[in-house]
Amino acid sequence: MNRNRKKKNNIVYLKRGDQIHKMDTTPARFFFSPPIIFTIVLIFVGALGSVVAAAHMADARREVTQARQARDAQLDANLTLISQMPQPFTIEEIEQIARDRLGMGRPDPSQIIYINVPPISHVVFNPHANILPDDTTFWEELRVFFTDIFNRVFGG
C-alpha cells in the first residue's frame, strides 16, 4: 500500500496499488436540515405562544381579582346599609303615628276591609337572594331567553 498524498484544498489522494482514492479532509460542518429547522421553529413558536397565553392568563386573573374585590366592597357596603336600615314599623307604631301626627281616629268596624295575603308575600331585603323563582330551572330560563330572542328577531 503506497500512500502518495497530494494536498490540494484539503483534498487528499491516496494510492493503493493502481487505485487512487480521493478524500476530503475538511472538517465536517453541521448543516441544519429542513426537518431540524422546522422543529426548532416549531419549538420556538410553541414557547412564544405559551408565554403569550401565560400573560393573558395573568391579566385575566388580575381582572377577576379586581372584580372580586369590587364585589366584596359592594357587599360590605350593602351589609352596612342593611344594618343602618330602620326596622319595619309594627301595627301599634303605625296606629300611634296615625293618631299623633295625622290626627286620625280608630275606624269603625264597617270601615275596615280585610285582605287575605299569603304569608310569603312580605318583602325581605336579601342581597344574596336568587333572582330566579324557586320552581324555575336553569334550562327553562335558558329556553325562555332564546325563545324571547327568536321572537324579537323574527317577530314571532
Query: pLDDT by residue (tens digit) across 93-113?
Result: 888 888 898 888 887 888 888
Spell out a b/e string for 120-131, using b for 16 or more CB atoms within 10 Å of the CB, else e.
Answer: eeeeeeeeeeee
Q: Which amino acid is at 72?
A: D
- Work out the average pLDDT over 122-147: 64
Phi then psi for 30, rounded to 5 degrees? -85, 110
Burial bucket for residue 13 (CB in 10 Å: 0-12, 13-18, 19+): middle
pLDDT at 42: 94
Evaluate whether 13 touches 19 at the Cβ level (below 8 Å).
Answer: no
pLDDT at 135: 60
Q: Is the pLDDT of residue 2 over 60?
A: no
DSSP assignment, residue 153?
A: H
What whole-number percentage of the chain has pLDDT above 90?
12
* CA 117/CA 151 separation, integer angstroms: 36
Q: Is the pLDDT of residue 11 over 50?
A: yes
pLDDT at 129: 54
pLDDT at 45: 92
Cell of 76: 360590605
CA dihedral 136, 138, 141, 145 (to 10 degrees): 170
In DSSP terms, 11 is beta-bridged to: 8, 24
* CA 2/CA 15 separation, integer angstroms: 6
Q: Is the pLDDT of residue 1 over 50?
A: no
* CA 50/CA 28 separation, integer angstroms: 36
* pLDDT tens per residue across span 49-78: 888 888 888 888 899 889 999 999 999 998
Burial bucket for residue 116 (CB in 10 Å: 0-12, 13-18, 19+): exposed
95 in helix, strand or coil? helix
